Amino acid sequence: METKGQKSQLSTLSVRRNGMYEHRSRDLASVHSRRRRKMEHLEHSEIGDSASDTTFEREISVSDSESGVCGDSTAPEFESFERNGLISLEEGDKEHDFIKNRFMLGLGPLERDTTVVAVHKNSFSSFHRKARLQSFKIFSEAMSRKCHGNANIRYAWYGTSRDGVHRIISHGFAQGGNSENNRLNCCGLNFSPENSSIESVIASDLDKSGLRHLLLCRVILGNMEEILPGSGQFHPSSEDFDSGVDNLSAPRRYIIWSTHMNSHVLPEFVISFRAPPCLEGFRRTQEHVVKPTSAWMPFRTLISVLSRFLVPSSIAFIEKYHNDYREKKITRQHLIQRVRQIAGDELLVAVIKSCRSKQFKTTMGVSPSSSSK
Taking only the tens place, the pLDDT of each residue in 93-111 is 999 999 999 999 999 888 9
Q: Which of 184-193, 233-242, 255-264, 337-346 has the highest mean pLDDT?
A: 255-264
Q: Provide φ and ψ at 222, rounded to 5°.
A: 55, -135
pLDDT score, position 57: 62
pLDDT score, position 53: 52
Burial of 372 (0-12, 13-18, 19+ CB in 10 A): exposed
Q: What is the DSSP letter of 220?
A: E
Beta strands 212-220 and 243-245, pairing class = unpaired
Q: In the beta sheet, which residues pair with residue 225?
A: 244
Contact 216, 270 (CB under 8 A): yes
Looking at the chain, the whole-number percentage of residues with pLDDT higher than 90 is 40
Q: Provide φ and ψ at 6, rounded to 5°.
A: -65, -40
Question: What are 165-191's pLDDT values in tens digits?
Answer: 999 999 999 865 565 565 555 578 999
Place 24 in a pLDDT band, splitting at 50, 70 and 90.
very low
pLDDT score, position 42: 44
CA gap 345, 269 in Å, rounded: 46
pLDDT score, position 132: 93
Contact residues for 272 (Cβ-Cβ < 8 A; gap 6+): 78, 116, 117, 118, 119, 120, 211, 212, 213
Residue 364 has pLDDT above 80, yes or no: no
**CA-wise closest residue to 273 among 68, 87, 77:** 77
DSSP 19-63: SHHHHHHHHHHHHHHHHHHHHHHHGGGG-S-TTT--HHHHHHH--
CA gap 361, 343 in Å, rounded: 26
Q: What is the DSSP letter of 179?
A: G
Helix (H, G, I), strand (E, B) or coil at 204: coil
DSSP E strands, the chain: 86-89, 115-122, 153-160, 188-193, 212-220, 224-226, 243-245, 254-257, 265-274
